[in-house]
A and B are shown apart, each in its own frame.
Chain A
Amino acid sequence: MVVFALLIISKAGGLIYNREFNAGLAKLSSNDLLILAGTFHGVHAITRSLAPVATHPANRLSSAPPSSIAAPFPLRPTGLEVLESSHFRLTCFQTVTGTKFLLFTEPSQPNVDVVIKRIYELYADFVMKNPFYTIEMPVRCQKFDGALDGYIKGNVR
Protein backbone atom coordinates (compact mmCIF):
# COMPACT_ATOMS: atom_id res chain seq x y z
CA MET A 1 0.00 0.00 0.00
CA VAL A 2 1.87 2.99 -1.26
CA VAL A 3 0.93 6.57 -2.06
CA PHE A 4 3.37 7.85 -4.67
CA ALA A 5 2.65 11.52 -5.19
CA LEU A 6 0.18 14.37 -4.92
CA LEU A 7 -0.38 17.10 -7.50
CA ILE A 8 -2.71 20.07 -7.13
CA ILE A 9 -3.86 21.80 -10.31
CA SER A 10 -5.49 25.21 -10.15
CA LYS A 11 -8.73 25.92 -11.95
CA ALA A 12 -6.76 27.56 -14.76
CA GLY A 13 -4.75 24.38 -15.37
CA GLY A 14 -1.51 25.42 -13.70
CA LEU A 15 0.39 23.17 -11.34
CA ILE A 16 0.35 24.80 -7.91
CA TYR A 17 1.65 21.99 -5.73
CA ASN A 18 3.53 18.76 -6.21
CA ARG A 19 4.86 16.41 -3.62
CA GLU A 20 6.39 12.99 -3.80
CA PHE A 21 5.83 10.70 -0.83
CA ASN A 22 7.36 7.46 -2.05
CA ALA A 23 9.64 6.61 -4.92
CA GLY A 24 8.09 4.58 -7.72
CA LEU A 25 7.13 7.04 -10.41
CA ALA A 26 9.61 8.30 -12.94
CA LYS A 27 11.48 11.45 -11.94
CA LEU A 28 10.20 14.39 -13.94
CA SER A 29 11.64 17.86 -14.22
CA SER A 30 9.44 20.68 -12.97
CA ASN A 31 8.93 21.76 -16.57
CA ASP A 32 7.65 18.31 -17.53
CA LEU A 33 5.37 18.31 -14.52
CA LEU A 34 3.87 21.63 -15.62
CA ILE A 35 3.25 20.20 -19.10
CA LEU A 36 1.70 17.11 -17.57
CA ALA A 37 -0.63 19.19 -15.40
CA GLY A 38 -1.71 21.30 -18.35
CA THR A 39 -2.32 18.22 -20.50
CA PHE A 40 -4.33 16.58 -17.80
CA HIS A 41 -6.42 19.72 -17.36
CA GLY A 42 -7.33 19.65 -21.05
CA VAL A 43 -8.02 15.92 -21.15
CA HIS A 44 -10.20 16.24 -18.08
CA ALA A 45 -12.35 18.80 -19.89
CA ILE A 46 -12.64 16.53 -22.94
CA THR A 47 -13.63 13.49 -20.91
CA ARG A 48 -16.41 15.52 -19.33
CA SER A 49 -17.91 16.34 -22.73
CA LEU A 50 -17.59 12.76 -24.04
CA ALA A 51 -20.83 11.47 -22.57
CA PRO A 52 -22.01 8.24 -24.15
CA VAL A 53 -25.36 8.62 -25.80
CA ALA A 54 -27.31 6.46 -23.38
CA THR A 55 -26.45 8.62 -20.39
CA HIS A 56 -26.98 11.83 -22.29
CA PRO A 57 -29.35 14.27 -20.54
CA ALA A 58 -31.67 14.35 -23.55
CA ASN A 59 -32.11 10.58 -23.47
CA ARG A 60 -32.39 10.40 -19.73
CA LEU A 61 -35.16 12.99 -19.66
CA SER A 62 -37.19 11.34 -22.37
CA SER A 63 -37.04 7.89 -20.81
CA ALA A 64 -37.54 8.89 -17.18
CA PRO A 65 -41.01 9.55 -15.80
CA PRO A 66 -41.76 13.24 -15.28
CA SER A 67 -41.82 12.97 -11.50
CA SER A 68 -38.20 11.88 -11.26
CA ILE A 69 -36.89 14.89 -13.16
CA ALA A 70 -37.27 17.16 -10.17
CA ALA A 71 -34.29 15.68 -8.35
CA PRO A 72 -32.72 18.36 -6.14
CA PHE A 73 -29.19 17.76 -7.43
CA PRO A 74 -29.06 16.49 -10.99
CA LEU A 75 -26.11 14.29 -11.86
CA ARG A 76 -23.43 16.52 -13.28
CA PRO A 77 -20.69 15.13 -15.50
CA THR A 78 -17.44 15.03 -13.55
CA GLY A 79 -14.80 14.20 -16.09
CA LEU A 80 -12.04 11.73 -15.40
CA GLU A 81 -12.16 10.37 -11.84
CA VAL A 82 -9.95 7.28 -11.81
CA LEU A 83 -7.26 6.29 -14.28
CA GLU A 84 -5.87 2.77 -14.10
CA SER A 85 -2.53 1.74 -15.51
CA SER A 86 -0.44 -1.30 -14.80
CA HIS A 87 1.98 0.51 -12.45
CA PHE A 88 -0.16 3.09 -10.73
CA ARG A 89 -3.66 4.39 -10.24
CA LEU A 90 -4.45 8.07 -10.58
CA THR A 91 -7.43 9.38 -8.64
CA CYS A 92 -8.65 12.85 -9.46
CA PHE A 93 -10.85 14.85 -7.13
CA GLN A 94 -12.23 18.12 -8.41
CA THR A 95 -13.54 20.62 -5.89
CA VAL A 96 -16.63 22.71 -6.53
CA THR A 97 -14.40 25.66 -7.41
CA GLY A 98 -12.45 23.70 -10.02
CA THR A 99 -9.22 22.92 -8.20
CA LYS A 100 -8.07 19.38 -8.95
CA PHE A 101 -6.29 17.04 -6.55
CA LEU A 102 -4.40 14.24 -8.28
CA LEU A 103 -3.27 11.36 -6.12
CA PHE A 104 -1.00 8.66 -7.52
CA THR A 105 -1.23 5.38 -5.63
CA GLU A 106 -0.57 1.71 -6.13
CA PRO A 107 -3.26 0.03 -8.25
CA SER A 108 -4.47 -1.96 -5.23
CA GLN A 109 -4.68 0.92 -2.73
CA PRO A 110 -8.10 0.91 -1.02
CA ASN A 111 -10.12 3.91 0.20
CA VAL A 112 -8.38 6.49 -1.92
CA ASP A 113 -11.43 8.75 -1.84
CA VAL A 114 -11.17 8.97 1.96
CA VAL A 115 -7.49 9.89 1.70
CA ILE A 116 -8.14 12.53 -0.94
CA LYS A 117 -11.00 14.08 1.05
CA ARG A 118 -8.71 14.31 4.07
CA ILE A 119 -6.03 15.98 1.91
CA TYR A 120 -8.67 18.46 0.77
CA GLU A 121 -9.44 19.21 4.41
CA LEU A 122 -5.76 19.78 5.12
CA TYR A 123 -5.59 22.07 2.08
CA ALA A 124 -8.57 24.06 3.35
CA ASP A 125 -7.07 24.31 6.83
CA PHE A 126 -3.44 25.09 6.09
CA VAL A 127 -3.47 26.72 2.64
CA MET A 128 -6.77 28.52 2.24
CA LYS A 129 -6.73 29.81 5.81
CA ASN A 130 -3.14 31.02 5.49
CA PRO A 131 -3.36 34.83 5.29
CA PHE A 132 -0.12 35.04 3.30
CA TYR A 133 -1.26 32.67 0.56
CA THR A 134 -2.30 34.28 -2.73
CA ILE A 135 -5.04 32.36 -4.43
CA GLU A 136 -4.14 30.48 -7.68
CA MET A 137 -0.43 30.78 -6.86
CA PRO A 138 2.00 27.94 -6.06
CA VAL A 139 1.48 26.58 -2.56
CA ARG A 140 4.42 27.13 -0.23
CA CYS A 141 3.14 26.43 3.25
CA GLN A 142 5.32 24.52 5.70
CA LYS A 143 2.37 23.58 7.87
CA PHE A 144 0.64 21.99 4.90
CA ASP A 145 3.75 19.99 4.02
CA GLY A 146 4.09 18.83 7.59
CA ALA A 147 0.44 17.90 7.99
CA LEU A 148 0.47 15.98 4.69
CA ASP A 149 3.57 14.05 5.72
CA GLY A 150 2.06 13.27 9.07
CA TYR A 151 -1.18 12.03 7.56
CA ILE A 152 0.23 10.02 4.65
CA LYS A 153 3.11 8.44 6.54
CA GLY A 154 1.08 7.89 9.71
CA ASN A 155 -2.18 6.53 8.41
CA VAL A 156 -2.09 5.39 4.84
CA ARG A 157 0.94 3.18 4.74
Chain B
Amino acid sequence: MTVYSFYIFDRHTECIYSRRWHARPTSSTAKNARPQSSSTITSNGESTAGGRRVLSKEDDAKLIFGTIFSLRNLAQRLGGEENNFISYRTNEYKLHYYETPTRIKFVMVTDTKMNNLRVALHQIWANLYVEYVVKNPLSPQEHAGGVGVANELFEEGLERFVSTVLAT
Protein backbone atom coordinates (compact mmCIF):
# COMPACT_ATOMS: atom_id res chain seq x y z
CA MET B 1 0.00 0.00 0.00
CA THR B 2 1.70 3.15 -1.18
CA VAL B 3 0.38 6.67 -1.38
CA TYR B 4 1.97 8.63 -4.20
CA SER B 5 0.43 12.07 -4.00
CA PHE B 6 -2.41 14.16 -2.63
CA TYR B 7 -4.13 17.25 -4.05
CA ILE B 8 -6.80 19.70 -2.95
CA PHE B 9 -8.64 21.82 -5.54
CA ASP B 10 -10.90 24.68 -4.53
CA ARG B 11 -14.20 25.60 -6.19
CA HIS B 12 -12.41 27.98 -8.55
CA THR B 13 -10.56 25.01 -10.09
CA GLU B 14 -7.30 26.11 -8.51
CA CYS B 15 -4.91 23.63 -6.90
CA ILE B 16 -4.57 24.97 -3.33
CA TYR B 17 -2.50 22.15 -1.90
CA SER B 18 -0.38 19.36 -3.33
CA ARG B 19 1.91 16.89 -1.70
CA ARG B 20 4.04 14.07 -3.09
CA TRP B 21 5.53 11.26 -1.06
CA HIS B 22 8.10 10.04 -3.54
CA ALA B 23 11.15 11.78 -4.90
CA ARG B 24 11.01 12.94 -8.46
CA PRO B 25 13.18 11.11 -11.01
CA THR B 26 16.66 12.52 -11.23
CA SER B 27 16.33 13.49 -14.87
CA SER B 28 13.82 16.19 -14.01
CA THR B 29 16.23 18.22 -11.88
CA ALA B 30 17.59 19.81 -15.03
CA LYS B 31 14.16 21.27 -15.59
CA ASN B 32 14.56 23.81 -12.80
CA ALA B 33 17.26 25.57 -14.81
CA ARG B 34 14.79 26.12 -17.60
CA PRO B 35 13.05 29.51 -17.69
CA GLN B 36 9.54 29.21 -16.28
CA SER B 37 7.94 31.55 -18.78
CA SER B 38 7.94 29.18 -21.73
CA SER B 39 4.55 27.59 -21.85
CA THR B 40 5.01 25.93 -25.20
CA ILE B 41 6.53 22.50 -25.30
CA THR B 42 9.93 22.58 -26.89
CA SER B 43 11.22 19.31 -28.21
CA ASN B 44 14.76 19.74 -26.95
CA GLY B 45 14.12 21.49 -23.65
CA GLU B 46 11.93 18.75 -22.17
CA SER B 47 13.31 16.19 -19.82
CA THR B 48 12.30 12.71 -20.82
CA ALA B 49 12.52 9.42 -19.02
CA GLY B 50 11.75 6.09 -20.59
CA GLY B 51 10.27 7.78 -23.64
CA ARG B 52 7.79 9.75 -21.54
CA ARG B 53 7.90 13.36 -20.59
CA VAL B 54 8.38 14.07 -16.90
CA LEU B 55 5.72 16.57 -15.94
CA SER B 56 6.35 19.44 -13.60
CA LYS B 57 4.32 19.65 -10.40
CA GLU B 58 2.03 22.37 -11.78
CA ASP B 59 1.42 20.54 -15.04
CA ASP B 60 0.57 17.41 -13.11
CA ALA B 61 -1.99 19.21 -10.97
CA LYS B 62 -3.59 20.81 -14.02
CA LEU B 63 -3.84 17.50 -15.85
CA ILE B 64 -5.29 15.79 -12.78
CA PHE B 65 -7.88 18.54 -12.42
CA GLY B 66 -8.82 18.24 -16.09
CA THR B 67 -9.20 14.52 -15.74
CA ILE B 68 -11.34 14.51 -12.61
CA PHE B 69 -13.46 17.37 -13.93
CA SER B 70 -14.24 15.48 -17.14
CA LEU B 71 -14.84 12.17 -15.41
CA ARG B 72 -17.05 13.76 -12.76
CA ASN B 73 -19.19 15.33 -15.48
CA LEU B 74 -19.29 12.03 -17.36
CA ALA B 75 -20.46 10.17 -14.26
CA GLN B 76 -23.09 12.80 -13.51
CA ARG B 77 -24.38 12.91 -17.04
CA LEU B 78 -24.75 9.15 -17.28
CA GLY B 79 -25.86 8.32 -13.76
CA GLY B 80 -27.87 11.37 -12.80
CA GLU B 81 -27.14 14.34 -10.57
CA GLU B 82 -26.59 12.40 -7.36
CA ASN B 83 -24.17 9.91 -8.91
CA ASN B 84 -20.71 10.37 -7.40
CA PHE B 85 -17.46 9.72 -9.19
CA ILE B 86 -15.41 7.63 -6.71
CA SER B 87 -12.17 6.46 -8.28
CA TYR B 88 -10.46 5.22 -11.40
CA ARG B 89 -7.65 2.77 -11.92
CA THR B 90 -5.01 2.19 -14.59
CA ASN B 91 -2.41 -0.56 -14.53
CA GLU B 92 0.02 1.80 -12.77
CA TYR B 93 -1.96 3.76 -10.23
CA LYS B 94 -5.37 4.42 -8.75
CA LEU B 95 -6.88 7.84 -8.24
CA HIS B 96 -9.41 8.42 -5.45
CA TYR B 97 -11.79 11.34 -5.45
CA TYR B 98 -13.95 13.03 -2.87
CA GLU B 99 -15.91 16.24 -3.28
CA THR B 100 -17.38 18.20 -0.38
CA PRO B 101 -20.75 19.94 -0.66
CA THR B 102 -18.83 23.21 -1.05
CA ARG B 103 -17.15 21.72 -4.11
CA ILE B 104 -13.68 21.41 -2.65
CA LYS B 105 -12.12 18.41 -4.33
CA PHE B 106 -9.78 16.00 -2.57
CA VAL B 107 -7.67 13.72 -4.74
CA MET B 108 -5.32 10.96 -3.67
CA VAL B 109 -3.16 8.91 -6.00
CA THR B 110 -2.12 5.50 -4.69
CA ASP B 111 -0.97 2.13 -5.98
CA THR B 112 -3.55 -0.09 -7.64
CA LYS B 113 -4.12 -2.44 -4.69
CA MET B 114 -5.50 0.23 -2.38
CA ASN B 115 -9.11 -0.14 -1.32
CA ASN B 116 -11.63 2.64 -1.65
CA LEU B 117 -10.33 5.80 0.05
CA ARG B 118 -13.50 7.83 -0.06
CA VAL B 119 -13.95 7.53 3.68
CA ALA B 120 -10.30 8.40 4.32
CA LEU B 121 -10.57 11.51 2.16
CA HIS B 122 -13.73 12.47 4.01
CA GLN B 123 -11.82 12.11 7.28
CA ILE B 124 -8.99 14.29 5.98
CA TRP B 125 -11.56 16.93 5.14
CA ALA B 126 -13.47 16.71 8.43
CA ASN B 127 -10.61 16.16 10.86
CA LEU B 128 -7.75 18.07 9.24
CA TYR B 129 -8.97 20.55 6.65
CA VAL B 130 -11.92 21.87 8.66
CA GLU B 131 -10.04 21.84 11.95
CA TYR B 132 -6.77 23.43 10.86
CA VAL B 133 -7.60 25.43 7.73
CA VAL B 134 -11.23 26.49 7.93
CA LYS B 135 -11.18 27.18 11.69
CA ASN B 136 -7.86 28.99 11.51
CA PRO B 137 -8.63 32.69 12.21
CA LEU B 138 -5.54 33.80 10.31
CA SER B 139 -6.40 31.91 7.16
CA PRO B 140 -8.25 33.79 4.42
CA GLN B 141 -11.69 32.69 3.26
CA GLU B 142 -10.52 31.90 -0.25
CA HIS B 143 -7.17 30.22 -0.59
CA ALA B 144 -5.94 31.83 -3.80
CA GLY B 145 -2.53 30.42 -4.59
CA GLY B 146 -2.77 28.05 -1.67
CA VAL B 147 -2.43 30.72 1.03
CA GLY B 148 -3.39 29.40 4.45
CA VAL B 149 -3.73 25.72 3.58
CA ALA B 150 -0.17 24.52 4.01
CA ASN B 151 0.16 25.40 7.67
CA GLU B 152 2.20 23.39 10.13
CA LEU B 153 -0.67 21.65 11.93
CA PHE B 154 -2.40 20.59 8.74
CA GLU B 155 0.74 19.21 7.14
CA GLU B 156 1.75 17.41 10.32
CA GLY B 157 -1.72 15.91 10.65
CA LEU B 158 -1.77 14.83 7.03
CA GLU B 159 1.64 13.26 7.37
CA ARG B 160 0.56 11.35 10.45
CA PHE B 161 -2.70 10.25 8.85
CA VAL B 162 -1.01 8.93 5.72
CA SER B 163 1.78 7.17 7.56
CA THR B 164 -0.47 5.48 10.14
CA VAL B 165 -3.86 4.88 8.57
CA LEU B 166 -2.99 4.38 4.92
CA ALA B 167 0.42 2.76 5.10
CA THR B 168 -0.79 -0.42 6.77
Contact = CB atoms under 8 A, between A and B. Distances in A.
Mostly, the B contact residues are mixed
Interface residues of B, number: 47
Interface stretch (A78-86, A109-117, A120-128): A78-86
Nearest to B23: A53
Range of interface residues on A (Cβ < 8 Å) = 35 or more
Interface string A49-62: 11111111111111
A79 B98 CA distance: 21
Contact of A32 (B50, B77, B90): B77
Nearest to A59: B25
Contact of B22 (A42, A52, A62, A78): A52
Nearest to B49: A58
Contacts, number: 132
B67 A85 contact: no
A36 interface: yes
Interface string B74-115: 110111101111111111110100000000000001010000
Given A47-B67, A85-B75, A53 B50 contact: no
A77 interface: yes
Given A36-B74, A53-B20, A59-B25, A25 B79 contact: yes
Interface of A: 25-26, 28, 32, 36, 39-40, 42-43, 46-62, 75, 77-88, 104
